[in-house]
Amino acid sequence: MNRILFDKKLEKKKLHKPILRKNGKGEPLVGGSILAKIVSRNGEEQDISAWNFIYAIFLFCFIFATLIFNIAKLQIIEGEEMLERSQMNKVRITSVKAYRGVIFDSDGKKLVENTPSINVYMSLENFRLEDGLDNAAIEGTLDTLGGILGENWKKSEDKDTEYASLSERVYSIYNGNPYINKILLATDIDNDLVIKIKAIGNDLKGISLDNGSKRRYVYGDIFTHILGYTGEASANDLEKYGQLSGGDIVGKSGVEKFYEQKLQGTHGKIAEEIDVFGRSVSKEPYTLSESISGQSLYLTVNINVQQKLYDVLKEGVKKHSAVGGAGIIQDVNTGEILAIVSYPSYDNNLFVGGISQSEYSKLLNNKKNPLLDRAISAQIPPGSTFKTIVAAAGLEAKVITKNTTYVSKTGYTFSNGAPFQEFRNHAYGTLNVTSALMVSSNIFFCEMIRDWNMNELVPYLEAFGIGNYTNIDIPGEMPGRLPSPENKIRLAQTTSPWLEPVWYPEGDSCNSVIGQGITLTTPIQMSNWMAAIANGGTLYTPHVAKKFVDENGFEYPVEYSPLARDIVSDESLALVRKGMWEVVNGSRGIARTLSTTGTSVAAKTGTAEFGKVNSKGVYEDTHAWVAGFFPYEDPKYSFSLLLEDGGSSANATAVIREMILWMVKNGFVK
């Protein structure tokens, strides 16, 4: 074997340096003829090409450059990802669930509480292999568990997160986060299932039962549409609320949803060391942060008033064969809601832990639509209750005064000969604005708008909140519909092709001012504009939340800004209030039954026609409305009450009379 010698003698002879061969003329050879001398073991000199050294240098440079490139890639391009993976391989952070805030009524009576529940989890630590999960073991465990749980694991309020099997649920969650350890499989299982799971615990590798908490709604149906319910967080919820993770509970409707961030609290965090397979190697977890319970919510709603309003409304709906109904009692000086009811309702406890498909289908297919919160979402023609706003607008715009009169008569027609009449073709004679409200004259307000212009009335309607949200703190509110020439034409061109895309200055305007035509309002809008009439012109934001209280007892009042102030002058409203007083107390008042409630009531009724017209030219279906405020001399509460497809306004008046009688008897009115 040849080697290059570098001993002292050779060094002196410089034999290790390349010796260039020359041709016969003494010129060095080029190309492959460049040689170097090496000395073999036997002392003989041999030639070697210098290119071999150059190739070695090139190879060294290439390897070094590749190494530098990969280091740069790991540190710069993939550095963040590698850091995260490195941390996950060492430490697992787990949330410690915070207790959700409790909800109380205005007197501090508990409406919603947290109660213990048993949840079923699978620990993936028991199934981890070097190259993933032990799928066969997982399948075997889940098959056994599925036979015990039956349909319980399928319950989910969020239909977007349904899975075909337990295995699909587990793998879907695992694929989203390979470092997850515990996966929630079922919530709030009953004692029988607990016993069955514990009885064969040895055959259910990695399955554990854990104490959790669930919401319990103390009064069920009565408060359902106010409180709403909670459910498992969906993908949208996880994106919206940053601290949540899979399996967490969030508000899905009602104040549970509206005030989610205050009610949910702050989860604590614990850390534990794990190996590369995700198995814990810590003796005990390290607490990074303690959980902070959610704030408790105190409502403006009084449980006794709410219960009574629910009872009388339920009785009224059944007695008058109505489809449903809604009722509201509101403080005219603050916007606080004392009671707000929608009937029929449903038990929101059905949704705790997830509702079964069969139960959910029953609610969806119920023709009376218990899922609809009629108090804030039912968009219904207001009928003659609307005349209170129109009267205030006409007075404020000086189109009419307290002395302006029109004649109510039979045979009234428009300029083209089309007939227009009072309810049931009555004739009331000469009327001013207060007497027109008392008898609920259609012709008086038709004459007024014929002397005016609908486009000039519209801004006043908007000021009273027609066609706008009241911003009540219960999700799901609808805005109603403003009767305007622009809206009619738009409807005719989009959602209502049966409408003519033309506004008739007489016909359309006269229908609108008596609360018919395309006019739509909600019960909450009506109680709110009645409150504005009562308090002198301030349109408050109606609300059901009063204050929050944290776990240390500190109180945080919920503040609301009025929607509008001085929407019309109190001088104009005083005449409207007088007309509403005469509805109850006047000689021809149409709600005289409210004069014997024990307090002075001002009101306006409405019988809103809809549906088909029979052979006599009379509508077969009507909605029954009544709205107003009390006491008249010093207004405290406004109200609105609807019986959907509930006949004449007298039916609604009878229901609210029973409610006011009860409030007077129980000291809510002094």
34 and 110 housed in the same domain:
no
- What pLDDT does 3 receive? 44
Residue 328 domain-assigned (yes or no)? yes
Is the pLDDT at 615 greater than 80? The verdict is no
Residue 185 pLDDT class (50, 70, 90 cuts): confident
Q: Find the domain containing 432 and state its range.
A: 303-345+373-665
DSSP conformational letter for 225: H
Q: What is the pLDDT of residues 54-64, one digit of tens each?
A: 777 777 787 87
Q: How far apart are alpha carbons 364 and 421 in whole angstroms? A: 41
Entry pTM: 0.80
Residue 408 lies in a domain: yes
Tokens of 355: 């509702």
- Residue % of the chain over a pLDDT of 70: 84
Do 432 and 487 lie in a common domain? Answer: yes
User: CATH number, domain at 287?
Assistant: 3.90.1310.10
Do 285 and 311 sit in the same domain of this protein?
no
Task: Check pLDDT > 60 for residue 232.
Answer: yes
Contacts of 531 (CB under 8 A, 6+ apart): 330, 331, 332, 335, 539, 540, 629, 638
For the residues 336-358, what does the mean pLDDT come to? Answer: 92
Q: How many CB atoms lie within 10 A of CB 361?
A: 11
Instruction: Give the mean pLDDT of 634-643.
Output: 98
Using the predicted structure, report yes or no on whether residue 394 has a pLDDT greater than 60: yes
Task: Say if residues 332 and 635 touch (Cβ distance below 8 Å).
Answer: yes
Pair 196, 318 in one domain: no
Q: Read off the pLDDT of residues 103-146 as tens digits, 9 standing for 90 and up.
A: 999 999 999 999 888 888 888 877 888 777 888 888 888 888 88
User: b or e along 30-44 (b: 16 or more beta carbons within 10 Å of the residue's beta carbon)?
Assistant: eeeebbbbbbeeeee
Judgement on whether residues 312 and 173 belong to the same structural domain of the protein: no
**Residues 448 and 574 occupy one common structural domain:** yes
Q: Is 140 helix (H, G, I), strand (E, B) or coil?
A: helix
- Asked whether the beta carbons of 490 and 553 are under 8 A apart, the reply is no
Whether residue 246 lies inside any domain: the answer is no
Quote the CA–CA distance of 272 and 310 in Å, as a whole number: 52
Q: What is the DSSP letter of 4?
A: -
Residue 159 is predicted with a pLDDT of 44
pLDDT at 9: 44
Nearest Cα to Cα of residue 473 among 222, 273, 262: 262
Per-residue pLDDT at 161 exceeds 90: no
pLDDT level of residue 508 (50, 70, 90 thresholds): very high
Residue 488 bridge partners (DSSP): none
420 domain-assigned: yes
Do 186 and 65 share a structural domain? no
Q: What is the count of structural domains for the chain? A: 3
Size (the chain), residues: 670
Task: Indicate whether 259 belongs to any domain.
Answer: no
* Together in a domain, 145 and 19: no
Domain end point (choices 45, 77, 109): 77
Indicate if 62 and 124 belong to the same structural domain. Answer: no
Q: Residues 122, 246: contact at Cβ < 8 Å?
A: no
Tokens of 517: 């035509």
User: Using only C-alpha atoms, what is the Rg of the chain?
Assistant: 40
Say which CATH number the domain at 632 has.
3.40.710.10
- Enumerate residues 6+ apart whose C-beta is below 8 A from 355: 155, 157
Residue 70 has pLDDT above 90, yes or no: no
Q: Examine the domain organization and report whether 64 and 126 are in the same domain.
A: no
The string of pLDDT tens digits covering residues 74-98 is: 666 656 655 555 555 567 777 778 8
Among residues 28, 49, 77, the one where a domain terminates is 77
CB 352 within 8 A of CB 220: no
626's tokens: 């009544």
* Averaged pLDDT score across all residues of the chain: 86
DSSP state of 49: E
Identify whether the C-beta of residue 382 lies closer than 8 Å to the C-beta of residue 625. Answer: yes
- In a domain, residue 260? The reply is no
Per-residue confidence (pLDDT) for residue 155, from 0 to 100: 55
Q: How far apart are CA 337 and CA 341, in angstroms?
A: 11
Query: Same structural domain for residues 177 and 283?
Result: yes
Say which residue, 370 or 179, is predicted with more confidence: 370
Structure tokens at 600: 């002075």
- Which residue, 258, 278, 296, sits at the end of a domain? 296
Burial of 614 (0-12, 13-18, 19+ CB in 10 A): exposed
Q: Are residues 314 and 286 in the same domain?
A: no
Q: Which residues pair with 312 in a beta bridge?
A: none
Is a pLDDT exceeding 90 seen at residue 302?
yes
| Residue 544 · residue 337 · CB < 8 Å | yes
Residue 229 placed within a domain: no
